[in-house]
Amino acid sequence: MGMGSVHFISDRFFFSGIRTCDLWYSSVKKIQNDFLMKKGIIITLVLGLALLPEVSYACATCFGNPNAAASQGINKAIIAMLGITGTVLGGFGSSIYVLNRRAKEYAISLKRKKN
C-alpha cells in the first residue's frame, strides 16, 4: 500500500481519510488507559497486602533458622557469585591497567626516538 494524499480542509490535515488530530487523541487516550490500568494494579496490590499481611512475610529459609542446610547453601551461593563477579571485574581492571601502562611506555619510547 502506497502513501496516501494529504488534503488541507478547514485547518485540519487529512491523510488517506484519517485526521491527524484523531491520531493524537487516540494516542492520548491510550496513555490515559495505560495509566489507569497501572493505577488499578497498584491499588489492588496495596489492598491485597493490607487485607492479607501474611503474604508479605519472608520465606521460611530467610526468616527461619540461620543454621539450616538451605540457609547455609544460599550463603555459599552468594559468596560464590560475589567471588566470580569480583574475579571478572578484577580481570577487566588489570587489563585496563596493563594497557594504560603500555601506552605510557610507548609514548615515552616515541619521545625518545623523536629526540
Span 79-103, pLDDT tens digits = 999 999 999 999 999 999 999 999 9
Q: What is the mean pLDDT of the chain?
A: 78
Q: Cα(70)–Cα(63) distance, rounded to whole angstroms?
A: 12
Is the pTM of the predicted complex or chain greater than 0.75? Answer: no
Is residue 27 located within the same domain as residue 53?
yes
Cα radius of gyration (the chain): 32
Instruction: From 14, 40, 57, give the residue that closes a domain.
Output: 57
Is residue 74 located within the same domain as residue 27?
no
Is residue 96 located within the same domain as residue 51?
no
Is residue 41 located within the same domain as residue 78?
no
Report how many domains make up the chain. Answer: 2
Is residue 49 located within the same domain as residue 75?
no
Largest CA distance in the chain: 81
pLDDT at 110: 92
Instruction: Reply yes or no on whether the pLDDT at 3 is more than 60.
Output: no
Is residue 50 located within the same domain as residue 79?
no
Segments forming the whole domain that contains residue 51 = 1-57
What 3-state class would DSSP assign to 6? strand
pLDDT at 41: 86
Is residue 21 located within the same domain as residue 47?
yes
Is residue 53 located within the same domain as residue 103?
no
For the chain, list the strands marked E by DSSP.
6-9, 12-15, 18-19
Instruction: From 34, 57, 80, give the residue that closes a domain.
Output: 57
**75 vs 26, residue with greater confidence:** 75
Note the pLDDT tens digit of each residue in 36-66: 788 888 898 888 888 888 777 766 666 777 7
